[in-house]
Each structure stands twice: as structure tokens, then as C-alpha cells.
């Protein structure tokens, strides 16, 4: 039974997932995804929404408990996903301890190095404040009670970015075992999560939808850590892009 189960997980990871979960590379694909996102709240050129979610688990064998304890002091691994407007996953990365910041998980993931090129020069991802502001990754303005009208209009961002939270919610509603994994090693946990994400995409491709369980849409994020000089420069470039969009929304409102 154990051998058969692992054989199935390996099949999903190596043979099915690369086809079912993939980054759009063709211009037509990117435009189609961007148009679907724009239809939500008018936010242009969005290629995907990114976030992280805790996947509760037992303590992995031979691992240090504190490394896998999230901020609620519960055992979990992190699932980082990028989804499109249909809630399909374009990228999934999992298996890392939930002690690690979301911004650090992005750096560890292969896609953290590839997506700047995938998005350039037109497209970008939407992420929450746990992620660093970049040209290819836009985050919300921090609201300290003094946002300008243009910055408030930019909150259309939130109506669009919520798609990734919805994707996690549907995934966990569809596969209830993701509420708590009962494996003894991280490799099996990661393979099982990837298999679930793969089947999730296949279901959406075949119009097999599931009612959204709102309580599963919540994700847990940790504030980003300070960056070096290069990070500061990249943040400045991201701020320029975000301000361009802020002005774009304001101009639309006033025309």
C-alpha cells in the first residue's frame, strides 16, 4: 500500500503536474489571463496573484519542532502559490517550514528568479504586504489614515488580489486532508500537496467547480525582513510602477 501510494504521488509530481501547473509563456496566454483579471476590477496587465498559506501537519520526523511552528505555534509547512483569475495555480512551491517569511520563500522558490523575466516588461503579479515591492510584484499602499484619493482608488488592487485567497480556500475545501497532513516526512507532504494542486487545476479545466468555503480563504503572512542596497533599488522601481497605476486609476476616475 505504501509503495503504491508513493508511486501515485511520484506520477503526479513528475508526469502530470508539469503540464497541469505551468507558467504562461506565450503572449496570447498572458493577454488572456490579464484580460480576465482586468474584468474583475479594472486592474490592467495582471499576470497572477501570489500568496502563502499554512498547511497544518504533524512534526516531520527528524526535524526540529520550532522550525515548523508557525506564529500560532502549530506545526505546518507553507504552500506558496500563484494563481490566475480562474483560481488555477500557475506555480506552486511547498515543503518549506512555516517559520520562514513569505518573502524568503519567494527567494527560495525557482520562480522567484524566473518571474521577473516572465513578467517583463508589461506584466506583474499582485501580492500582499508580506512581499517586497518590485516592478514585477506590486503590493498595496500602507494605510496610516493619510492616503490620497489616487492611492485609495488603487485599492481596486485588493478586489483583484483576493483571487489567490479564494484559490487556497477552494483547494482546501476540495481536499479536506490539507487541513492537517498526517505524513511523517516533508517529501511526502510536499508531493501530496502538489498532487492536490494538480487535480485542482484539472477539475477547473473540466468545469468541475466547488462552492467556496470562506473560512478557508484566510492566509497567514509574516512581515518582510529588511533588504540590502539592491533590494532598495528594486523597491524604488516597484514604487514607480505602482505610482503609475495609481495615477492611471485616478485619471480614469476624473475623465
Q: Over its length of 255 residues, how does the chain's per-residue pLDDT go in tens digits?
A: 678 888 899 999 999 999 999 999 999 999 999 999 999 988 899 999 999 999 999 888 888 888 898 888 899 999 999 999 999 999 999 999 988 888 889 888 877 778 889 998 899 999 998 899 999 999 998 888 888 888 888 877 778 999 999 999 999 999 999 999 988 899 999 999 999 999 999 999 998 877 654 444 443 333 333 345 566 667 777 777 788 887 877 777 776
Q: Looking at residue 230, what is its pLDDT? A: 60
Query: Is 91 inside a domain boundary?
Result: yes
Query: Is 225 inside a domain boundary?
Result: yes
Query: Is 6 inside a domain boundary?
Result: no
pLDDT tens-digit series, residues 151-196: 888 877 778 999 999 999 999 999 999 999 988 899 999 999 999 9
The grid cell for 213 is: 468555503
Q: Looking at residue 214, what is its pLDDT? A: 44
Considering only CA atoms, which of 34, 69, 78 is closest in space to residue 193? 78
Query: Is 8 inside a domain boundary?
Result: no
**Which spans in the chain are helix H?**
2-11, 17-20, 27-41, 102-108, 111-119, 149-153, 156-174, 186-205, 229-254
Helix (H) or strand (E) holding 197: helix 186-205
Q: Looking at residue 211, what is its pLDDT? A: 61
Query: pTM of the predicted model, to two decimals?
Result: 0.83
Query: Is 1 inside a domain boundary?
Result: no
- Number of domains, the chain: 1
Query: Is 182 inside a domain boundary?
Result: yes
Query: Is 189 inside a domain boundary?
Result: yes
DSSP-based three-state secondary structure for 71: coil
Q: Looking at residue 212, what is its pLDDT? A: 57
| Measured distance CA(155)–CA(139) in Å, rounded | 10
Show the domain range for 27: 15-254
Query: Is 32 inside a domain boundary?
Result: yes
Given 3-state DSSP classes, what are the helix, strand and coil percentages for the chain, each rounded to the nearest 5?
A: 50, 15, 35
Amino acid at each position: 500500500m505504501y509503495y503504491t501510494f508513493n508511486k501515485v504521488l511520484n506520477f503526479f509530481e513528475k508526469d502530470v503536474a508539469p503540464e497541469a501547473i505551468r507558467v504562461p509563456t506565450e503572449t496570447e496566454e498572458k493577454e488572456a489571463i490579464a484580460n480576465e483579471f482586468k474584468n474583475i476590477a479594472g486592474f490592467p496587465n495582471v499576470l497572477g496573484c501570489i500568496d502563502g498559506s499554512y498547511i497544518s501537519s504533524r512534526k516531520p520526523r527528524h526535524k526540529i519542532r520550532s522550525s515548523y511552528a508557525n506564529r500560532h505555534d502549530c506545526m505546518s509547512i507553507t504552500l506558496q502559490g500563484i494563481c490566475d483569475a480562474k483560481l488555477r495555480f500557475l506555480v506552486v512551491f511547498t515543503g518549506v517550514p512555516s517559520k520562514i517569511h513569505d518573502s524568503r520563500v519567494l527567494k527560495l522558490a525557482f520562480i522567484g528568479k524566473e518571474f521577473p523575466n516572465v513578467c517583463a516588461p508589461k506584466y506583474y503579479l499582485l501580492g500582499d504586504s508580506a512581499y517586497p515591492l518590485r516592478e514585477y510584484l506590486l503590493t498595496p499602499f500602507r494605510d496610516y489614515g493619510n492616503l490620497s484619493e489616487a492611492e485609495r482608488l488603487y485599492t481596486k488592487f485588493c478586489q483583484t488580489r483576493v483571487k489567490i485567497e479564494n484559490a487556497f480556500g477552494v483547494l482546501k475545501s476540495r481536499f479536506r486532508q490539507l487541513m492537517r497532513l498526517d505524513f511523517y516526512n516533508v517529501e511526502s507532504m510536499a508531493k501530496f500537496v502538489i498532487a492536490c494542486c494538480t487535480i485542482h487545476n484539472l477539475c477547473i479545466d473540466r468545469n468541475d467547480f466547488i462552492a467556496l468555503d470562506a473560512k478557508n480563504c484566510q492566509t497567514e503572512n509574516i512581515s518582510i525582513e529588511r533588504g540590502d542596497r539592491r533590494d532598495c533599488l528594486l523597491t524604488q522601481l516597484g514604487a514607480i510602477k505602482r505610482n503609475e497605476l495609481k495615477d492611471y486609476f485616478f485619471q480614469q476616475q476624473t475623465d
